[in-house]
Structure 1
Amino acid sequence: MRDLIVSTNDAKYRRVDGRDTYPEGAGADTLDLIDASAYPPRIVASVGISTTIAGPPQAVALSPDGRYAVVSAPNRYDRERGASVFENYLQLVDLQGTPPRVVDKAATSHHPQGVAFHPQANLLAAATAGGTVESFAIEEGRLIRKHELTVSKGRLAGIAFTPDGKAALAALRDEQGVAVLEFAGGRLQATPERVSAGVAPYAIDVCASGWAVVGNVGLAGLPGQAAQLAGDADTLTLIDLNQRPFRAVQHLSVPSLPEGVAISPDGRWIAALCMDGSNLAPGNPARREQGRVALFALRDGRAHPAGELPAGAGGQGIVFTADSRHLLAQFNVDSMLAVYTVADGALADTGHRIPTTGGPVSIRAVPGRRS
């Protein structure tokens, strides 16, 4: 199978000097299909979709066979009201169509956020801003609604299945921590298990060797906190999935707002793409022109700092290629993907950039990949 990655772009939104703007005449939001089988990775198709920057950078998912993508977090900008309108549906993209295109839309009860495919079963889970996890199957090119499970009274953010498919992790963005859901009888079920995390857990990634990492975006991820933003350091949480109950084994300090988190398919590396003040207005003393990419080496059940480099402004998602040698990082303000490499245990910027039509906001690879 080719090493396929999907990346979405919010074209209607622009962050200008830390302010949210919606310029007139902006193009359509898009999904880019990226082939990373050979270096350098390249965009091989683009599809018009609807998405938003207001959500975890895992609001897109790629099916295990690489045929379909599901795009979450749809919104539109109402210019008369001067407000974003968050909508309640998922979009199914047939990546093998000629050309690739959206073939179905399925309603959700609440605004969907992170989405994830089960690594073996024909099931997609969508975590919502209404605190539910809603499940869908793909049948004859359509998204068929299966179940809805209430998990939280607050918003959920990222969601990911464990490598064996027996459980899923859902980030409790407002209530804090990570909820553990059981997958049995073809459906997700609630459990009393909770795993500790930092403030406002957001994106979640897992690897086949039984580890999960959570990006905790701090006060910026909670409602009503905009006036308090000052570029505080935030955290990642490392979770051991190798035995039940799952447990957090380490909290790692990183620059502010680690929007994107990823574990390499070979289980050796953890990466975080952090805004580090590049989202703040120029008058804020914590304002920086660039974000940061942080790399950690995962060995003997612990994560160890392995390098940190400048990144673009307003960074969003990050993902490893299947060979665990390269990273694709979304630079939202710069409207591009940047390619980093892990060579001889060190992080390096290749200098290769992939322009995008709009600011990239979510990115995902095929679930369950192994190097």
Structure 2
Amino acid sequence: MLLAAQSVSAADWVVSANDGKYQRVQGRDTYPDNAKPDTLTVLDASVLPPTVNQTVEVENGIQGPPQAAAISTDGKLALVAAPTRYDSATQQLQMDTFLQVVDLSAKPATVSRIELGSHPQAVAFDRSGHWAVVTCVDGGVRPLRVEGNKVTLLDRIGIAGKRLAGAAFTHDGQHLLVSLRDESGVAVLNLVDGHWADSGDRVSTGVAPYTIDVSSDGHWAVVSNVGLAGLANYKGRLLGDADSVTLIDVSKTPFRAVQQLTVPSVPEGVAISPDGKWIVAQSIDGSNLLPDNPGVKAHGTLTLFALRDGHAVKVNQVADGNSSQGVVFSADGKHVIVQFNVEHQLGLYSIENGKLVDSNKRIEVSGGPSSLRSAPR
């Protein structure tokens, strides 16, 4: 008797948080009546196009770095930050101060809240599944202990006097990188005797560091720097100037920035392939500006870099959506998912013959996608 072996591939979990109440119209913020609820879309990117596993109602907003959602390696738990509500009576956006814990193993999924005392920005899981973290606008990092579907808030670690943004654990789980959005630079936290502590080390970046991603080969981290547009209460008109992405060597301590890469304006998201071979930066590139602004453009731009001999080399650029947000690689490093905010879609791209190309395939989501992360790899 011949027995046919059936190969079963593991899921490649990705989550997209979607702001249902907000709509950008020709560069202006609007909050339409009878808006849809904010949602979390859970995707399996092990197949192409990725399949939608489930959609859960949460509270989320576009204001802040597009790393306000995360999913555990086993796909059973998600965290959602950046909770916002729009008060139509006062026409004011309310910034809430809780973290949402989504138990995806429950049928249907359940959502609970952890009060933080400050508006949360980015969330991240480590590869072991034992740790998570949330950054806040009060300059504090909140480490989280994860045990199954239970998430426990630990101490507050104050590392800045102003807003924090993106966060990412290194591949070995011994360090945490956090963007100092208003003060610039990246703070390095270390795991010491089972506790997280600020090492005091800082890594140079561009202006207003935002999102952070790390490679699974333990060598590289990348940081998007959104420039003057990312600073609090910045006065003056911005015209779509070039901004930057920072390449950091995390293969040995102390970590060091080794290259500053020029990209189009406001790189909301940046991702490095798990194998450390490719970097993709998603830049709004003037697509968020008013119609009379000389820098306005119809769509954003994806820039692909190849990592060769310890430095990054620009390969090509392709168009993406209007005011696009987060970007992630698939686990095999061959495909890229991008959030098209205005269009309420996820755009799918591939690396073919050494260049980034648009597959012209799209996934519809409920609301404007605002945060995007894959499970730790």
1:100-122 Cα distance to aligned partner (Å, 9 max, x none):
232x2111121110111122251
Matching residue of 1:87: 96
Q: Say which of 184, 203, 206 aligns to 2:211.
A: 203
Q: Say which of 34, 45, 50 aligns to 1:25.
A: 34
Q: Say which of 149, 156, 171 aligns to 1:148.
A: 156
Matching residue of 2:267: 258
Structural mapping, 1:81-160, within 5 Å: 81-102=90-111, 104-120=112-128, 122-139=130-147, 141-160=149-168
CA–CA distance in structure 1, aligned partners of residues 126 and 48 of structure 2? 28
Matching residue of 2:46: 37
Larger radius of gyration: 2
CA–CA distance in structure 2, aligned partners of residues 202 and 140 of structure 1? 30
The answer to whether the 8 A contact 2:168-2:178 is kept is yes
Q: Say which of 87, 94, 103 aligns to 1:78.
A: 87
Alpha carbons of 1:226 and 1:311: their partners in 2 closer, same or farther (altered >3 Å)? farther
What letter matches 1:211 in structure 2?
W
Alpha carbons of 1:279 and 1:162: their partners in 2 closer, same or farther (altered >3 Å)? same
Gaps of 5+ in 1: none
The answer to whether the 8 A contact 1:163-1:206 is kept is yes
Normalising by structure 2, we get a TM-score of 0.95
The answer to whether the 8 A contact 1:147-1:187 is kept is no
CA–CA distance in structure 2, aligned partners of residues 99 and 256 of structure 1? 41
Matching residue of 1:219: 228
CA–CA distance in structure 2, aligned partners of residues 178 and 265 of structure 1? 21
Instruction: State the Cα distance separating 1:78 from its structure 2 match.
Output: 1.1
CA–CA distance in structure 2, aligned partners of residues 139 and 176 of structure 1? 33
The answer to whether the 8 A contact 2:76-2:149 is kept is no
CA–CA distance in structure 1, aligned partners of residues 141 and 167 of structure 2? 9
CA–CA distance in structure 2, aligned partners of residues 231 and 363 of structure 1? 24
CA–CA distance in structure 2, aligned partners of residues 242 and 89 of structure 1? 34
Normalized per residue, the structure richer in strand is 1
1:288-326 Cα distance to aligned partner (Å, 9 max, x none):
011001100012110111110011100100000111111
Which stretches of structure 1, 4 residues or more, deviate above 4 A after TM superposition?
none
Normalising by structure 1, we get a TM-score of 0.97
Correspondence 1:186 to 2:194: yes
CA–CA distance in structure 1, aligned partners of residues 129 and 280 of structure 2? 28
What letter matches 2:128 in structure 1?
Q
Structural mapping, 1:235-314, within 5 Å: 235-314=244-323
The answer to whether the 8 A contact 1:105-1:143 is kept is no
What letter matches 1:107 in structure 2?
E
**Alignment partner of 1:220: what SS?**
helix
1:129-166 Cα distance to aligned partner (Å, 9 max, x none):
10000012234633211121001001100011111111
Gaps of 5+ in 2: 1-9
CA–CA distance in structure 2, aligned partners of residues 321 and 208 of structure 1? 12
- Paired residues in the alignment total 367
CA–CA distance in structure 1, aligned partners of residues 195 and 308 of structure 2? 34
Q: For the aligned residues, what is the CA RMSD? A: 1.1
**Alignment partner of 1:44: what SS?**
strand
Matching residue of 1:230: 239
The answer to whether the 8 A contact 1:198-1:236 is kept is yes
Instruction: State the Cα distance separating 1:38 from its structure 2 match.
Output: 1.1
